[in-house]
Structure 1
């Protein structure tokens, strides 16, 4: 397994270095980048580049909570752990789906347990297995916006603007997406409903989070609408 990619954010140099040391001492391979402010982290953040955000809540300027609120708008899945001297922000942490809330002084066991949890979460993340140039790769399902058949290739559009063009047929990949929040509104498209922002009735398409359109065939219009509404209902109930 590749090293866990961790962003460590704290405006106190001593605290940053202490967290880095604890992370490096844990028996799990990691690769860390240090940030001295929430503003720096938010500016550098892109979906898919980190496996964990380990950050202080109380920082000068933008707080950790405010930073995660901004990050959650573009990545709802990235694991986050707050370090803090107070538990008064526990409710905000819950609302932001924070993985762990660690009180200072941070202990080595706290970091070990956190990294183990992130590692298990990453290993158990549903993924799409593909072969590219004879090499097998796994793409986390939560990173995929949609798949599109283009002649003899399948375009896989991912978070962060990344696109992969794979030789083959869409139909051969679909069985791997069963049980996940995907719907095929057209024979050439399969959309991740998590990234659907709405339905354009006039142009008959799903409007995706990246601004692209996923076409809906005329016979599938009512099914596409129901699939999206059912997904939103399930999401409100906490199923997705």
Structure 2
């Protein structure tokens, strides 16, 4: 039989006060039935006259809130001067960020941000870390080239990369802890989307150096997405990377669209 948890009820001697706190703390608004929606689970704050003003055993039931950016949420809550039971910390053994706070009735809530380390540790814990599964496999990009020698000149002369290995019909380059290959192909890339990207620490310096080598960067001008001197700041990023990203795009000699990005903390 299936018994999904559809909602959670928080009883309070002052439901209006507690509901208002949750709405402010987490930027929520109760729906027509009075539920605050945390993802797919609704929390109903209901007034009762058979409960105390504060919970007697706050650690007995804890609401775990899984968030994308625990640091950003904690900063928001700091502005509301919430009571922290445990300050935000990163736990290496779990691969996740944790923080615990109390609501006005003393109920405990825990913020949890799972990182890529959590997924890696989980795979290892479940025994999925062996080489037979894709989760443990290395990723490598393949880019088509109609003229392999022309592509070799572009990547070596324009981008300053060295060929790590070659074979008939293919060139392999190494960058940082990854690699990519350019292969001889009769087909041509449409170049309508980013096919490969690098992450760098100083985008401005990289763009300036490559321009000095004769590389041309794409200028994009569409609603809500416009480059300035070849660089754009994109709102949003993966939580483990930062809050935003600066990016620039270029095309190689074969028409492949390549990106260069820098995370914004």
TM-score (norm 1): 0.26
Q: Which has the higher helix share?
A: 1
Q: Which has the higher strand share?
A: 2
Larger radius of gyration, structure 1 or 2? 2
